[in-house]
């Protein structure tokens, strides 16, 4: 792009995804894996990606209650390890999930994001969160990261609480509260299918935080900007308000 996208925007509202956008979801997974399965000599990051694929595949079933969260968590790690021809018991899967959740209770917001949120809030831009997942689990992470210090509770939208999930256009329309036009809104997220397609189809501006360097999938939609590193994301948004 010849000119930074933010020079042509009048952004008044910025919403962020949570998982793998405001913290690296792989780190608590990796720590739990090493603790529970130290004897498995496999690519842990690849196992993590397989587990996320499974979560995405059964997300709707967990949202509508057809599949319990407990069963999804159990099958998620079992399915991921099966890709490496490894089998674990239900008890081992449950033990891994307990350690994974314990690690998520210790996640921290990067200092660069703290500074970014301070600056964005001081500039008068409204901040919010749109995240898919169960209400209690997502709120636990949101509070652990200290996000309510910058985000008003009315601007926290969690799929299981509002009855809609990304990439549903209705979720992004709800976030605007008819106070802003789509052109005044910006969304930042890591998932192309949920975040880029969801926000762009609702008419929003989008930054794709592609920290895992995934290829741009075939789509009629493209992000307004793509960054791969947290420092670049923060710099981009700070430049926007300066």
Residue 5: pLDDT over 70: no
Predicted pLDDT of residue 9: 66
- How many C-alpha atoms does 200 have within 13 Å on its Cβ side? 18
Extract the tokens encoding 122. Answer: 């001081």
Total domains in the fold of the chain: 2
| pLDDT tens, residue by residue, 206-231 | 999 999 999 999 999 999 999 999 99
Residue 47: pLDDT over 60: yes
Residues 223 and 126 in one domain: yes
Residues 68 and 166 in one domain: no
Average pLDDT, the chain: 94
| pLDDT tens, residue by residue, 153-175 | 999 999 999 999 999 999 999 99
pLDDT, average across residues 26-55: 97
The pTM of this model reads 0.92
pLDDT, average across residues 44-54: 96
Residue 145 sits in a domain of what CATH number? Answer: 3.40.50.1000
Domain extent for 36:
26-104
pLDDT, average across residues 182-204: 97
Distance CA 119, CA 242 (A): 10
E strands, 21-169, are 126-131, 156-158
Predicted pLDDT of residue 3: 42
Helix ranges restricted to H, 105-164: 111-122, 135-144, 159-162
Residues 160 and 187 in one domain: yes
Distance CA 240, CA 242 (A): 6
């Amino acid at each position: 792009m010849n000119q930074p996208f933010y020079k042509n925007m009048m952004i008044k509202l910025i919403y962020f995804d949570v998982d793998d956008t405001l913290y690296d979801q792989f780190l608590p997974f990796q720590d739990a894996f090493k603790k529970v399965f130290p004897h498995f000599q496999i690519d842990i990051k690849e196992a993590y990606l397989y587990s996320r694929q499974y979560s995405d595949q059964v997300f709707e079933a967990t949202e509508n209650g057809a599949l319990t969260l407990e069963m999804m968590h159990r099958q998620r790690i079992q399915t991921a390890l099966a890709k490496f021809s490894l089998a674990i018991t239900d008890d081992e899967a449950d033990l891994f999930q307990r350690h994974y959740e314990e690690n998520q209770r210790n996640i921290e917001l990067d200092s660069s994001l703290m500074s970014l949120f301070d600056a964005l809030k001081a500039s008068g831009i409204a901040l919010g969160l749109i995240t898919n997942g169960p209400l209690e689990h997502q709120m636990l992470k949101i509070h652990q990261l200290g996000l309510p210090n910058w985000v008003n509770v009315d601007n926290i939208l969690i799929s299981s609480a509002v009855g809609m999930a990304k990439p549903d256009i209705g979720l992004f329309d709800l976030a605007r509260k008819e106070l802003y036009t789509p052109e005044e809104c910006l969304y930042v997220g890591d998932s192309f299918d949920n975040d880029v397609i969801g926000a762009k189809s609702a008419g929003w501006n989008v930054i794709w935080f592609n920290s895992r360097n995934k290829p741009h999938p075939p789509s009629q939609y493209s992000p307004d900007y793509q960054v791969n590193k947290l420092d670049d994301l923060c710099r981009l948004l700070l430049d926007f308000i300066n």
